[in-house]
Amino acid sequence: MSPAPLAGRLALVTGASRGIGLAVAVALEGAGAHVVRLARSLPDAATERRTDLRCDVADPAAVERVVGRVLAERGVPDIVVNNAGIFFIKRIEEIATPEFTRAIAVNLTGAFLVARAVVPHFRQRGAGHLVTIGSVSDHVAYSGSTAYAASKYGLRGMHEVLRVDLARTGVRTTLVSPGPVDTEMWDPWTPTRGPASRSAGTCCGPRTSPRPCCTP
């Protein structure tokens, strides 16, 4: 039997309690990596192949503390997946300032804080893979997505600069910009769908989506 492709590697995934983040964490663990899952809703816990740490990525002190703990106890991650995000649909005149600020804080500032904490270690080691989970909304405009698009366009811009800055250092950068994915995040905006329809493999995505998806 061939060894798992990521055996002996350390991965860190933000927003890993549900949705895309959880699926990525499960896949990385299945490939042999030890996975550190960060999320506001996860209690601190550890098993042989997984470490869960409570962390609000929008809180600079929390990110510094948690990443510092990972570095001290586990070492420099080989893979970091910046996935944490929030989403809502509102026209600009309906968005309260705290709502907009929170969207930017979680979706963009959180990714910045995590990248800032790990990229110097990647650069020093000459290896590492920083994966940014963007969105189709980082390059396509959808009605009602003012706050979300602002955060995701910014996230794409940060990725592009990091890609240039880290070229020829041995550090890899990847931006993944998926279309709508049938996760809990969509439930408030698609009232006819929910956990039951997800388990049945119902198609998801707004009518304006160029790439609706079906997820069992």
Q: How many residues comprise the chain? A: 216
For residue 32, with 0-12 CB atoms within 10 Å meaning exposed, 13-18 middle and 19 or more buried, which class applies? Answer: middle
Amino acid at 200: A
In a 13 Å sphere around the CA of 68, the CA atoms on its Cβ side amount to: 6
Q: Which tokens is 136 given?
A: 């189709």
Residue with tokens 């240039």: 164
Told to judge if 148 belongs to the known catalytic residues of this protein, a careful annotator would answer yes
Euclidean distance between CA atoms 67 and 90, whole angstroms: 34
Q: What is the rounded distance in angstroms from the CA atom of residue 178 to the CA atom of residue 156?
A: 13
Selecting among 148, 155, 158, 162, the annotated active-site residue is: 148
- Buried b / exposed e over 171-185, threshold 16 CB at 10 Å, is bebebebebbebbeb
At 25, is the secondary structure helix, strand, or coil? helix
Q: Which strands, in side-by-side order, build the sheet including 10-14?
A: 45-46, 50-54, 34-39, 10-14, 79-82, 128-133, 171-176
Q: Which residues are known catalytic residues? A: 148
